[in-house]
Amino acid sequence: MSRRALILRYTAFAVLAVVANLATQRVVLHGGAEIDATRFAIALAAGTLVGLVVKYILDKRWIFYDDTSGASAQGRQFFLYSLMGVATTAIFWVTETVFWLIWGTDFAREAGAVLGLMVGYTTKYLLDRRFVFQASRGLS
């Protein structure tokens, strides 16, 4: 796959994961007049988990062309994929939270989320390529 095609595909998958993440957050946050810290944290965690699973499935198959099989090997791989996301998730959470604390609107919160996820996903691709999917065919 060409570099341009890789960037476009990875970006499209990141957008899908962001939409899944933010949609999950909206579901969790829906219905309350006031967003308290507990509900906000639950929304962040739920959205992050949904986005992580969506992105892993897409990356594994369509970015890294990974054919790892077996529950043990895939479990290890998903663990490493998740671990690479810890620092990048912190970037996302901090950015989203700062935007929410400063401006206090859903638009600002989601703008912070998108910005944090853009930086996080770029970093995550580099980490995944090096540490998670390094043995996959098609990319090195």
Q: Nearest 5°: CA angle at 41, between 57 and 21? A: 30
User: What does the pLDDT look like over 31-71, one tens digit per residue?
Assistant: 766 888 888 899 999 998 999 999 999 999 999 999 998 99
Lowest-confidence segment of 33-42, 55-64, 103-112, 120-129 by average pLDDT: 33-42
User: What does the pLDDT look like over 84-97, one tens digit per residue?
Assistant: 988 888 888 899 99
CA 36, CA 32: separation in Å to the nearest integer?
Answer: 9
Q: In sequence order, which residues have a C-beta less than 8 Å from that of residue 140 and are 6 or more positions away?
A: 134
